[in-house]
Structure 1
Amino acid sequence: MHKRILIVEDEPAIRDMVAFALRKGEYEPVHAGDAQQAQVAIADKVPDLILLDWMLPGTSGLELARRWRREALTREIPIIMLTARGEENDRVAGLESGVDDYVVKPFSTRELLARIRAVLRRSREDDEDGSVTVGGLRIDGAAHRVFADSPEGEQPVQIGPTEYRLLHFFMTHTDRVYSRSQLLDHVWGGSVYVEERTIDVHIRRLRKTLEPFGLDGMVQTVRGAGYRFSGAIDA
């Protein structure tokens, strides 16, 4: 079965170009010109990955990404943002909205396919991960879900795919300090497309995910060295 990829792009010429490249790469492209069409396509069949344009009519790609990360049906779908905004602050804003990667326009189809393969490969690796428990957190690798202890009992944690991957690495490598470059190598596979600043964005998102359970202190900053994950919450 070919991987199904939803293209959310309002420019027909770009949509057609991307769809052609996807078919050449043996993917199944699905088209959407705006947020409403994207929702219809997802309801019809959940895609394996979404290519999302930043600038859309009515609802921006940023707003759409944030919405999808809040909804159970779309929370774990990898998202690559297509954007003409290449400044660092714009790229960080995109990552903080919940996307897993970004491609700056104009882009080559070769680069786009490489990024798609990298994101899908990381997603498959996540599916193969086992279960692990640290402190008040538990990852069920088979179900691809995270649970946290609370006064009401164990509660599910709403987490995006990149934060899931980062958390799984931390929980299987506790109490050791990792630099940003080491985390890129271990979690992103040394991809040349990911910048070290990306780590800080996903660390903030991971802490925000754990904060409602009082577990954000497990992700600790070691000044001048990097980050550490510990079952003993940092005061």
Structure 2
Amino acid sequence: MQGFWETYMKSVDGYPAMLSFNATVSQNAPDEEYGYVAFVKVKLKSPTDEGLISQEDVDEVGFIEDRLELESLRYRHGEYVGRIITQGHINFIYYLKMDFEWSDTVAAAMGYFEDYTFELGSRLDSEWEVYQKLLFPTAREWQIIQNHHACDELKNAGDNLKLKRAIEHTMYFPTPQERELFGDFIQNEEFKLQKNLEPSEEIPFYGVKFYRIDVPFYRDIDKLTMELIDHSEKFNGQYDGWETSLVKI
């Protein structure tokens, strides 16, 4: 897969779904050159009880993904932007310059995988709504992605993520008054204020750093950061992430 990719979980039409998206193309979305969205929906042989991919399908699905991308490059008309695994199927999503050769592209790729059944389709999507509204994460989903990257880094360094320690957070506000009101509020939630960050050319907002003793384990930090985002919105603020020290005991 070309570009920088991210993966996360969400609910799609009320069912658990695993989404992967090409984050690199977000810098140019919507791309006027690629105005058609196209998909290939492949039925998994042995999905999990939740309708997600099992180990039995992983390797073969990887081969299908590579073959689709190879044929798309050969036809020189597609850009691979994401995939969605849900309800026992995997959907590969592309944006195309024109869609009249899409069926030929898919047929050339899926001819190597006769054991898998599939559907295909395409339509005009010049605003890239499928990418921007379905594949690309919301602010909360993006924060969870960043949380899990940070947890992975700590875990790989030998950290015991279930041990409490000081976790420092950063928040930004349009005005010093909103920052001050938030500071009063967050102290009532047992956080301690660390320092204010004044506007600069790089970040023209009023920031504050604050911390509390908490657990940085995956589900715990997800719950905490979602609560902080909720709190920030009450004061017109924007949450800017967290950091903590390594604890190996």
Query: TM tier, shorter chain?
Result: under 0.3
Q: With the length of structure 1 as denominator, give the TM-score of the two structures.
A: 0.24
Question: Which is greater in Rg?
Answer: 2
Q: Please state which structure has a larger fraction of its residues in helix.
A: 1
Q: With the length of structure 2 as denominator, give the TM-score of the two structures.
A: 0.23
Higher relative contact order (CA 8 A, sep 6+): 2
